[in-house]
Structure 1
Amino acid sequence: VADGLMQSGKDWMRRPIEFNHVKMTNNPQLEEKHMVFVQSLHKYTPFVEIFDEQQRNIRWQRLDIASFITVTAYQNNAVSQLKKYYNKYAKGQYNKSVEQQASLKRPPSSPLGPPPQVPPPSFPATPYQASPTQPSLF
């Protein structure tokens, strides 16, 4: 079911399954569309259920590769920057840090020169792909 509508297998095969519209929260008071309540420091594993046209369950598949543990704060600055950069709900936090850096501008005559720019973080395509110059995030 996508947006409350039953879809055929042919429809599902046209494009990848995405969860871009899902927002997780640890606040049980929030009841917005596409909101999923989770508890911090718990492990979650998404799954897909497949039904036939009579709505009988014919397949249930865990997506173990997509398992995750929820947290409310990051101790690793690189992970924190990664979340702020790629999570549209955390964009405000990333923009605040960039604005704070920009507000530290020094006059051109300053012997210290301009403050360093805050570039977007660069990370491997997935946290599991480490390169010789860039360690894995985990």
Structure 2
Amino acid sequence: MDAVPRLSHGCSLALPCCAEVGGASCTKAPQVAGVKVQLEMQALWQQFDQLGTEMIVTKAGRRMFPTFQVHISGMDPAVEYVLLMDFIPVDDKRYRYAFHSSSWLAAARADVATPGRMHFHPDSPAKGSQWMKQTVSFDALKLTNNLLDDNGHMILNSMHRYQPRFHVVYVDPRRDSQRHAHRNFCTFSFPETCFIAVTAYQNHRITQLKIASNPFAKGFRTADPDDWTGNTRPAAQSPSTWQAQEGRHHPVSVSVEQPTENQKGLSREKDINSVSLSTKQCKPAQVTEEEGCSSERKDMENHIFPSSTFIPFPSFWECPSMSERLPFLP
């Protein structure tokens, strides 16, 4: 059997190049023999790998972050390929996180293996020219711990370590293509993409890195006082000189003429009348502040947020207290 080749850019074939047929080793089909795969965002993957990458799994399914993205070269531009992924256990152990040492420890033997599944890229099959002209992203892939999942998500056991694998399959148009199936594919794996499946992040540094790196996690980021212009807090400046960062509400300085004594008296009478009128109108539907807050909190707790992404409502991001009620990051 041929030795497992090593690619210069850091990825390696996770499976033997081909199976042995009739006692003689075979070679890969020319359509896949020269295929090379480069992992995108490799530096970010390595940062997570140094901390011990964790991926959230839920009953409904959760997308991966970082997203598995690759750049492919060496394909035959005129033939069609199918791209797919699967996840295999790295070992036969179940892990637990030791908070006193901030490390993962083997706790017991692995649970019963989950059903093996393949995730096909939605653009498959496509010609090699299409795959090579742009980055291939598996952003639609979701992870779940629901053994009865019927949505096609990848089923994983929580607290187990997994290795994602990427497969390139040549679509052989010959009628006897099944006889050559072992020659028409290549499998690639990247050690830095290994992760432990969890239902909640265990390492707080992983949580912080995901918040800092995920473009959809802006609402979880706390404002840095050093971001203000002049390195001073906005309260120490007048509204006319404070320059807020992009996307934040900032006060506007407006010059107002000072009212006369007669105008002040008319204004007081108008305010009293408006207050008494508004009080009469509000009597049929009086709600205390505590009741309003409790009902809002109850609605928030009963609301099921989509697991695949964050809520696209800006109002949630502007309220610091809401970050405690939102679900975990993807």
TM-score, normalized by length of structure 1?
A: 0.53
Q: CA deviation at 1:51?
A: 2.4
Partner residue, 1:14: 133
Partner residue, 2:187: 60
Cα-to-partner distance string for 1:9-31 (whole Å, 9 max, x where unaligned): 22211221212111111112232
Structure 1 outlier segments of 4+, above 4 Å: 95-100
Task: State the alpha-carbon separation in 2 of the partners of residues 7 and 67 from structure 1.
Answer: 28
1:23 maps to 2:142: yes
Go from structure 1 to structure 2 and tell me whether the alpha carbon gap of 1:38 and 1:50 turns closer, same or farther (over 3 Å shift): same
Task: State the alpha-carbon separation in 2 of the partners of residues 41 and 27 from structure 1.
Answer: 14
Cα-to-partner distance string for 1:10-61 (whole Å, 9 max, x where unaligned): 221122121211111111223225x111111122222222222316333221
Alignment of 1:1-138 (within 5 A): 1=82, 2-3=121-122, 5-33=124-152, 35-54=153-172, 56=181, 57-80=184-207, 82=210, 85=217, 89=308, 91=310, 101=321
SS of 1:46's equivalent in the other structure is strand
Percent identity of the aligned residues? 23
Task: State the alpha-carbon separation in 2 of the partners of residues 48 and 4 from structure 1.
Answer: 15
SS of 1:10's equivalent in the other structure is helix
Q: CA deviation at 1:100?
A: 7.1
Q: How many residue pairs are counted as aligned between the two chains?
A: 101
In the alignment, structure 2 segments of 5+ residues that lack a partner are 1-81, 83-120, 219-305, 325-330
Whichever of the two has the greater Rg, that structure is: 2
Task: State the alpha-carbon separation in 1 of the partners of residues 134 and 203 from structure 2.
Answer: 34
Go from structure 1 to structure 2 and tell me whether the alpha carbon gap of 1:8 and 1:25 turns closer, same or farther (over 3 Å shift): same
Task: State the alpha-carbon separation in 2 of the partners of residues 64 and 75 from structure 1.
Answer: 21
SS of 1:70's equivalent in the other structure is strand
In the alignment, structure 1 segments of 5+ residues that lack a partner are 103-116, 119-138
Q: CA deviation at 1:4?
A: 6.8
Task: State the alpha-carbon separation in 2 of the partners of residues 3 and 27 from structure 1.
Answer: 22
Partner residue, 2:225: none
Partner residue, 2:258: none
SS of 1:59's equivalent in the other structure is strand
Q: CA deviation at 1:62?
A: 1.4
* Larger relative contact order, structure 1 or 2 (CA cutoff 8 Å, min sep 6): 2
Go from structure 1 to structure 2 and tell me whether the alpha carbon gap of 1:75 and 1:13 turns closer, same or farther (over 3 Å shift): same
Q: CA deviation at 1:3?
A: 2.0
SS of 2:217's equivalent in the other structure is helix
Q: CA deviation at 1:5?
A: 3.0
SS of 1:5's equivalent in the other structure is coil
Higher strand share goes to which structure? 2
Task: State the alpha-carbon separation in 1 of the partners of residues 200 and 319 from structure 2.
Answer: 21
Residue type of the alignment partner of 1:7: A
Go from structure 1 to structure 2 and tell me whether the alpha carbon gap of 1:44 and 1:17 turns closer, same or farther (over 3 Å shift): farther
Cα-to-partner distance string for 1:70-97 (whole Å, 9 max, x where unaligned): 11122344534636838963636xx979
Cα-Cα RMSD:
3.7
